[in-house]
Amino acid sequence: MTRVFSGIQPTGELHLGNYLGAIRNWLPMQHETDAVFCVVDLHAITVPKPPGEVGADSLRLSQLLMAAGLDPEVCTLFVQSHVREHSEAGWLMQCSVSFGELSRMTQFKDKSDQHDFISAGLFTYPALQAADILLYDTDEVPVGEDQRQHIEITRDIAERFNSRYGETFVLPQAVVPAAGARVMDLQRPDNKMSKSLDSPKGTVNLLDEPERIEKKIKSAVTDNDGEVRFDVDEKPGVSNLLSILGAATDRDPVTLADDYHQYGALKVDTAAAVVELLTPFQARFAELEADPGETTRLLRIGADKARDIAATTLARAKSNIGLLAD
């Protein structure tokens, strides 16, 4: 079966763009592939975090993912730092990638511009990501466009390692899912809905109360020509509402436009569809949140499954390098 590996940065909050654009696409993958999902807490600490924050966010993100439908009985869901093989393999990867290659990573350039303290870990971040992926003999990595470069460098590292030390790692492929809806900020519809945009009124969080969701969608920016038509360039705000309504109701946003002659009605229906979509999710989340011990138990099972695979691959890598056996 195809092995699929995905890493997700721990945040305590997910928004509608995360859900409709990415997470929803992962749900069928758990049944069609051998899917591994990793909450990458060690990647999160490449930038400074207040003590305690990453752990709390990792627990909460795990609960959000489970509430969204990742089933720890079906897929493998675990927290990166619970499987120490990631750190150890990360070092081996650091020794198989050059300073020059890491210097060309655009995510490093972007992130290092945003922080005063630039950790060495932020620079070697792609080596740890390569370890994540290669430890699981991963065939496919579902990622957004922004991560393509990191998958390319992972392949380069694997190829270099294999040619130095003999066949060790599977070369993974990036798959950029075509289906995901592009959800834009409700107030600034030329920008993707994003935590980093810091636009609370333009972002629907998955845990927002129904009244809050309605309020945000009803005050979404549109335009003043009054015509409901799917046209991302000319009518980004209206098109975004059509995309959201379409994604939430499994309909095509272009044909959906024919049903509407007023922005008001489009907003009312979009808000109702989002509330309906999120109500069962919020109920499941509330149950998980009330019993953190159960989440911890499920994550432990995930880490045990992950460790079994990772330990085998790491042992193979160390033995192929020819490190003295212990």
DSSP helix/strand/coil, 56: helix
What is the closest distance, in whole angstroms, from the C-beta atom of residue 217 to ligand TRP in the complex?
A: 27
Interface with ligand TRP by CB under 6 A: which range of 65-73, 108-116, 125-133, 200-208?
Answer: 125-133
If one asks whether residue 43 binds ligand TRP (CB under 6 A), the answer comes out as: yes
Binding marks (x or -) toward ligand TRP, 147..186, rule CB under 6 A?
x--x------------------------------------
Alpha-carbon torsion 227, 188, 150, 32, what sign?
Answer: negative
What is the closest distance, in whole angstroms, from the C-beta atom of residue 43 to ligand TRP in the complex?
A: 5
If one asks whether residue 112 binds ligand TRP (CB under 6 A), the answer comes out as: no
33 or 147, CB closer to ligand TRP? 147
Interface with ligand TRP by CB under 6 A: which range of 139-147, 196-204, 284-292, 295-303?
Answer: 139-147
Give how far the C-alpha of residue 142 lies from the chain's centroid of Cα atoms, to the nearest Å: 9
Question: Angle at the Cα of 47 (from 42 to 53), degrees rounded to 5?
Answer: 70
16 or 153, CB closer to ligand TRP? 153
Residue listed under structure tokens 């195809």 = 2
d(CA 313, CA 134): 8
Structural Rg of the chain based on CA atoms? 21
Residue 186 has phi, psi (to 5 degrees) of -70, -25
If one asks whether residue 47 binds ligand TRP (CB under 6 A), the answer comes out as: no
Instruction: Concatenate the DSSP letters of all residues of 83-134 into one string.
Output: STHHHHHHHHHHTTS-HHHHHT-HHHHHHHHH-SS--HHHHHHHHHHHHHHH
Size of the site for ligand TRP (CB under 6 A): 13
109 is catalytic: no
147 or 168, CB closer to ligand TRP? 147
If one asks whether residue 66 binds ligand TRP (CB under 6 A), the answer comes out as: no
Element (H, E) at 13: none
If one asks whether residue 310 binds ligand TRP (CB under 6 A), the answer comes out as: no
If one asks whether residue 143 binds ligand TRP (CB under 6 A), the answer comes out as: yes
Residue of 49, 192, 201, 305 with catalytic role: 192
Sequence-separated contacts (24+) of 287-290 with Cβ below 8 Å: 288/63, 288/66, 288/67, 289/60, 289/63
8 A C-beta contact, residue 164 and residue 96: yes
What is the closest distance, in whole angstroms, from the C-beta atom of residue 319 to ligand TRP in the complex?
A: 24
If one asks whether residue 320 binds ligand TRP (CB under 6 A), the answer comes out as: no
Kindly tell me which residue out of 18, 30, 124, 129 binds ligand TRP, with binding defined by CB under 6 A: 129
Question: Residue 291: how many CA atoms within 13 Å on its side-chain side?
Answer: 10
215 is catalytic: no
40 or 273, CB closer to ligand TRP? 40
**Restricting to residues 23-42, which ones interact with ligand TRP according to CB under 6 A?**
40
Crossing angle, helix 53-68 and helix 292-321, to 10 degrees? 100
235 is catalytic: no
Tell me the β-bridge partners of 76.
36
**Restricting to residues 251-290, which ones interact with ligand TRP according to CB under 6 A?**
none
Binding site for ligand TRP (CB under 6 A): 5-7, 9, 40, 43, 129, 132-133, 141, 143, 147, 150
Residues with catalytic roles: 111, 192, 195
